[in-house]
Every structure is written in C-alpha cells, then in structure tokens.
Amino acid sequence: MAEAIQRPLGRRRSRNFILGSLSFGHGVSHLYDQGFPVFMPAIQAAMGLTNFQVAFLLGIRQGSSGAVNLVGGAIVDQMKASWGPILTGCMIWAALGFVVLAASPNLGVLVIAVAIVSIPGSLWHLPATAALSRRFPDRRGFAISIHGFGSNIGNVLGPLVAGGLLTFMLWRHILLIYAIPAAVMAVFVWWSLKDLGIEDGDQRGDEKPQRRVLAAYGEGLAMFKNPVVATLVLAAAIRGVANNALFQWTPFYLKNATDGGLDMGYFTAGVYLSLLTGMGIISAPILGYLSDRYGRKQVLVPGLMIAAVLTMFVVSAGDGIMLAVLLGGIGLFSFALQQIILASVLDIVERGTEATASGLIFGINGVLGFGSPFLAAFIIEDLGGYGSIYYYVGILTFVAAVTIAFIPFPGQRTPARRPA
C-alpha cells in the first residue's frame, strides 16, 4: 500500500483533469435536466394534463431530487472509495430512466418515471462537489463555478436539442434516443473518475476509523447551530424555489397559446430557454473568480438584486428582442449565484462533511420544491396566467438578496492543499 501511495500520480489523478471530467459529466447531466422542461408542454398536450397535474409531476421531480440529496449527502461522505462508481451509476440510471419515461402509458407510470429520471442529476452533485471542495480549498469558488460552467453548457444545449428534435419527432422517440449517449457517458465517467474518492488524499489504508452514517447525519443537523450556515441554507432555499418556478414554467409561457402564453414553436422556445438557463457559460467562471478575490457577499447581493429587477420586466417585453435580452440577463445569474452560495457554505463546514452540506442545500431546495409548483399553478390559474410567475420569482429573488445582505460572512477558509 505504501508503494501504491508513493507512486507518481498520473494525468487522470491531477486536480485539473478531475475538474474537467466532472465538469464535462455535469454538462451532460444538465443537458438532460434542462431539456426535460421543454418536453413538458408536449407531454401535457399528448396526455391531456391540466396545469395542476403538470404541477404534480414537477413537484415529484423536485421532491425526489430533494430526498436523494437529504438522505444521500451523509452517506456519500462515508463512501469516498465509491465516488467513482456512484458517478458512473448516475449515467447508467439516466439511460434506464429515459427508457421508462418514453414508455409511460398513463399518468401513474409517468409519475414513477419522472421520479426515476430526477435521481441521477441530483446524486451527481454530492460526490462531485465534495471532491472539488477538497481538491481546491485555495480556489473553491472558482472550481465549483467551473463545475457549474460545465452544467451551463448543458443548460444551453438541452433546450436547443430538445426543441429542435420536437419539431419533427415525437417526444417518446426522442427520449429513447437520449438513453444512448447516457450509456456512452457511463463508460467515459468510469474511465476518468473511477478512482475519484480513493485518490483524494485519503487512501484506502487511512487509519482513521470511519464515522457512522447516523453520526454524520447528526453532524449535518449540527451545522444549523451555526447561524451563518442556517441563514445561507435559507437564502439558498428561497432562491432555489424561485429558480425552480422560473425554469419549470417558462417553457409553458413561451410555447402555450393559452393563459397568456406567447405561442412560440418548440425550437424558438428552446432558443429563448437556453438564454435563461445557459448564460452562466459567460458568468460562472467570472463570478466565481470575483467571489474568491473580493468576497461572496460582494458578488451575491448585487447579482441577486439585478436578477430580481430583470425578472420583473419579462412580461412587458412581449416576444421581441427585449425578451431575449432580459432572459439572457437573468441567465447570467441563474445558476452561477447558486454555485457561489454553495461555495459560501463549504467555506465554513468541516472537511469530511462537504457532501452532507451540499445535500442539505440541494435537499431542502428539493423538498420545498415539491410544494412550489402547486403554488405556481395557483398563481397561473387565478392570478394572471403564465406571465404572473415572473413577478413571483422576482419577489423571491429580492427576498434572498436581502437575507444574504444581513449575513455576517466570515473570512473564507482556504487551508493549504494536500498533495494531489
């Protein structure tokens, strides 16, 4: 074992290669995740679903994601040697999930399929974020933002690919096709990341005893005793609910002709949605670098304020060029700021609890996200149609900004990096 530890590390063990591989896999995961909302209007039309039935599907998607994160975070922290197989399993599970989703004959099976396909993308974040937090303690905000940069490539391509294919193919056939690249990606992830946890500074021969999972859950709950962590998680939850409503219902606003929708074609709607979800390609690395250099709050508060103001003007923009400008502007802050909130929490928590902390943030977002689509559906049905969602999102984003403004951020924790 000593010889294995002393052996020079290969290219696949360098932290930059791992960052690149994790970011690429994250991009593929989000290509699927952000393509899914584009399919929802087609699924609604094909199966005759009401807005509240759609809300139930969206709630199941968010709730399942939240459950995976809440339960999985502490477990993933205890299974570092299995991080590579877990990430590989995410891709295999995605491939199987798309097959089930494509074959769904009714709403009941569709609910099960939606729950299945929500799991891989949610689970991916836990070992990936923990590994990056450990490997880049000196540039944590930048590394997590680059991981988010990968997701933003998927966020751009997901709506474009889904919208383009829907112009000449049935949604069921497309989802069957989606299973193929997911299976191919499983091979790549296994090749590039199979030793991710094993070689992350703590080898299989580490003499420290493994903490029990129940004790790890206790440590997760103990994090809330820190008022800064608790308030950051609250702000992340508020912002997460806003983002969920924005991404879930914008395709309906763009595509549907009823309830104040703009009646766009599938591809055109995909183009506009890609601006909303994918502009982090530009902003994520920049905002991550700025947050490392000048502080998390100095980036988060103005970013959230700008996003809130832009969101309030979406409906008045109609369907012209100003709509594209506004959605692109909102997209600069949509995922990128959530990554910086996550980095803020990881600055504070103890080493060895990174996945638990990530699970708390994503998990609470998901649990609250189960009820959020029903509130959004009520707003659409009774308070002004699909366009009213943007006022709801703008208000929540403003509340998140004010919450973060009052947090006394500590100095960012940047301990010396262990040899990779």
CATH number reported for the structural domain that contains residue 225 in this entry: 1.20.1250.20
Is residue 418 in a domain?
A: no
Give the model confidence (pLDDT) of 55-78 as tens digits: 888 888 888 877 887 777 777 777
Which of 197, 251, 245, 323 has its CA nearest to residue 58?
A: 245
Judge whether 420 lies within some domain: no
- 413 sits in which H/E element: none
CB 142 within 8 A of CB 285: yes
pLDDT band for position 254 (50/70/90)? Answer: very high
How much is the average pLDDT of 305-319? 93
**Would 75 be classed as within a structural domain?**
yes
- The pair phi, psi for residue 271, each rounded to 5°, is -65, -50
Residue 95, phi-psi category: left (phi > 0), alpha (psi -120 to 50), beta (remainder): alpha
Give domain status of residue 324, yes or no. Answer: yes
Residue 417 resides in a domain: no
Q: Is residue 412 a part of any domain in this protein?
A: no
Total domains, the chain:
1
Give the integer Cα–Cα distance in Å for 383 and 400. 23
- Determine the Cα–Cα distance for residues 227 and 80; give it in Å rounded to an integer: 29
Look at the block and give the residue holding tokens 């262990």. 418
Global pTM value: 0.74
Q: Is residue 358 part of a domain?
A: yes
CB 366 within 8 A of CB 122: yes
Say which amino acid occupies 365: N
Q: Which domain holds residue 270?
A: 11-198+211-405
Residues 278, 155 contacting (CB under 8 angstroms): yes
User: CA 418, CA 392: separation in Å to the nearest integer?
Assistant: 45
Instruction: Check residue 325 and give its pLDDT.
Output: 94
206 in a structural domain: no
What is the full DSSP assignment across 106-151?
SHHHHHHHHHHHHHHHHHHHHHHHHHHHHH-TTSHHHHHHHHHHHH
Residue 400 has pLDDT above 90, yes or no: yes
